[in-house]
Every structure is written in C-alpha cells, then in structure tokens.
Amino acid sequence: MYENKAEAELYDRLYQDRKDYEGEAVRVADLIREHKQDAVTLLDVACGTGLHLAAFAKCFDEVAGVDLSAWMADLASERLAGVPVHQGDMRTFDLGRTFDSVVCMFSSIGYLRTTEDLDSAVRAMTRHLADDGVLAIEPWYFPDTFLPGFVSTHALKDGDQGISRVSHSTQEGNVTRMEIHYVVADADAGVQHRSEVDHLTLFSREEYENAFRGSGLTVEYIETELGRPGFFVGTHSDRS
Ligand SMILES: C[S@@+](CC[C@H](N)C(=O)[O-])C[C@H]1O[C@@H](n2cnc3c(N)ncnc32)[C@H](O)[C@@H]1O
C-alpha cells in the first residue's frame, strides 16, 4: 500500500476531493477539548499525506505525524513546512516524547491484522500521551456494522487529468476485502488503469475497548454520523 510516489500522489489528489479534512479535524479538535480544554499539542498516527495535519495545525500550537509509508510521509512533509513527519509503524514507533492528544484517523488502524497488533498499536499511542492527554481513534467498522457488498464511487477532473475510483467490499470472516479500481486519464499519458485489494480487519467494539483498557486508559465509544464508524476516546481519568 502506497509503495511508490505515484500511488501516494494519486491518494493525495483523490482524497482532497473526497473527504472534508478540515471539517473532520475541527470536530476531532472539539472532541479532544471536551476532555482537555488546554490541549496544545497533537500527534497524528498514520497521518498519510498530512491532509488532516494541515487542518490540525490551525487548531493546535504544535503538531506532528507518523506514517508507515515513506512516500506518504514525504508528501506530508512537503505539504507542512516545519512540521515533523516521521516514518514509523504504529505498533512500535517511539518518538521519545508525549503529546496532549494523539489521534489515528480514517480507520487506518483497521489495516492491522491481529488483536496483538491492535493492542501493541494502542500501547504505542498511549506511551506518547501526556498524563492528562486524550487518545482518539477512528476505528474500521465492527463485524455487525459493516455492510457486505458495499459499493463506492468517486470521480474528479483536475486540469488536464481525470481520475475515477470505484470499490467493492466483501466480508471474509472478520476481514473486509476491498477491491479498488482506479482509472486515470491524462492529456499526455493517456488512460491508465490500476487496481488493488485492501484488507481491513473487522475488530469488535470489545476488542478495541480491551486494547484501551489494557493500556491503562478509560475508554468511551462515540457514534458519529450515520454510516460512519464512530470514535473511541481514551484518557487516563485516574491520573488527571
Ligand atoms: C486510509 S489511509 C489514511 C491516511 C490519513 N490518515 C488520511 O486520513 O488521509 C491509511 C494510512 O495508514 C497508514 N498505515 C497503514 N498501516 C500502518 C502502520 N502499521 N503504521 C503506521 N501507518 C500505517 C498507511 O500508510 C496510510 O497512509
């Protein structure tokens, strides 16, 4: 996933058009401040190309990011002058410091394959949390909220380039198999087609909650708009 510059750039172009990054960042900043009104620092784990980070930078004094893909992290660094963006795995990263808030957006945690990995990732994020800090994770769907057969489409025109994306998702045990096809029409390069298959684990609500509790956090699940997977919010309520 995102193993070269072209894939990272296609994601960046498509998702700027497809998602309301600014609105989502403002809502998550509000959620964080419900728990910690004076939060001024934020770490975005699996930050991708930095589209949320650009918006978070308007809400917090200091932001930073980490992503597994060096290509995604590079695009984030190019977008965000002066913002540290690290290449690292959410299960094992160690930046040697803490933040008032740590977030993991757009179901990126669903790319992990086992509950051991889920536990490791939540532990690693919690190690980066100040004593009175807030951890907010947007999960993937749960086994009972995922809709097998889900179809998604998006198309955009940007100058001399047209991009379309369609996907079809099925359920295989506790995994979503998402087949995605991209067609890009470019004035010079002509029409190119690419496809990928992503696997996202359908961890249960209890598995997420166990991961938070196992890291010493109190956890609450917040439902968001209909059809979206919601948010888990964790705090060290006993230490604040
Ligand atoms: C769907 S994209 C979301 C990116 C960004 N948060 C956004 O909202 O645009 C998923 C991201 O998770 C990253 N990712 C997947 N597995 C990861 C891991 N184990 N550690 C850190 N990042 C990971 C990918 O490289 C990718 O950038």
Total number of residues shown for the chain: 240
State which ligand 1 atom lies nearest to the alpha carbon of 46.
22
pLDDT in tens, 179-201: 999 999 999 999 999 999 999 99
Q: Which residues contact 24 (CB under 8 A, 6 or more apart)?
A: 52, 55, 105
Residue 55 lies in a domain: yes
In the chain, % of residues over pLDDT 70: 98
One domain for residues 68 and 167: no
pLDDT band at residue 2 using 50, 70 and 90 as cut-offs = confident
* Strand 161-172 to 175-186 pairing: antiparallel
- pTM of the predicted model, to two decimals? 0.97
Contact 204, 221 (CB under 8 A): no
Whether residue 73 is found in the same domain as residue 126: yes
Would residue 240 count as lying in a domain? no
Give the model confidence (pLDDT) of 94-119 as tens digits: 999 999 999 999 999 999 999 999 99
Q: pLDDT, tens digit, for every residue of 139-149?
A: 999 999 999 99
Whether residue 172 is predicted with pLDDT greater than 60 in this model: the reply is yes
Q: Does the Cβ of 39 fall within 6 Å of ligand 1? A: no
Distances (CA, A) of 57 to 40, 62, 113, 121, 223: 10, 7, 31, 24, 25
158 and 99 within one domain: no
pLDDT, tens digit, for every residue of 8-38?
Answer: 999 999 999 999 999 999 999 999 999 999 9
* pLDDT confidence of residue 227: 77
Say which residues have a Cβ less than 8 Å from residue 57's Cβ, sequence separation at least 6. Answer: 63, 80, 83
- 118 neighbors 112 (Cβ within 8 angstroms): yes
Judged against a pLDDT cut of 70, whether residue 230 lies above it is answered with: yes
- Does the C-beta of 56 come closer than 6 Å to ligand 1? no
Domain that holds residue 167: 150-201
**E strand residue ranges, 46-172:** 62-67, 85-87, 99-104, 129-137, 150-158, 161-172
**Whether residue 127 is found in the same domain as residue 188:** no
Domain shared by 85 and 189, yes or no: no
Gap from CA of 111 to ligand 1 centroid (Å): 8
Query: Ligand 1: does its nearest atom lie under 6 Å from the Cβ of 7?
Result: no
**What mean pLDDT value characterizes the chain?**
96
**Is 183 part of a structural domain of the chain?**
yes
With a pLDDT cut of 90, the percent of the chain lying above it is: 94
Nearest 5°: the CA angle 131, 132, 137 is 100
Structural domain total, the chain: 2
| CA 89 to ligand 1 center in whole angstroms | 9
Atom of ligand 1 nearest to the CA of 105: 6
Q: Examine the pLDDT at 91 and tell me if it is beyond 90.
A: yes
CB of 138 within 8 A of CB of 77? Answer: no
In a domain, 58, yes or no: yes
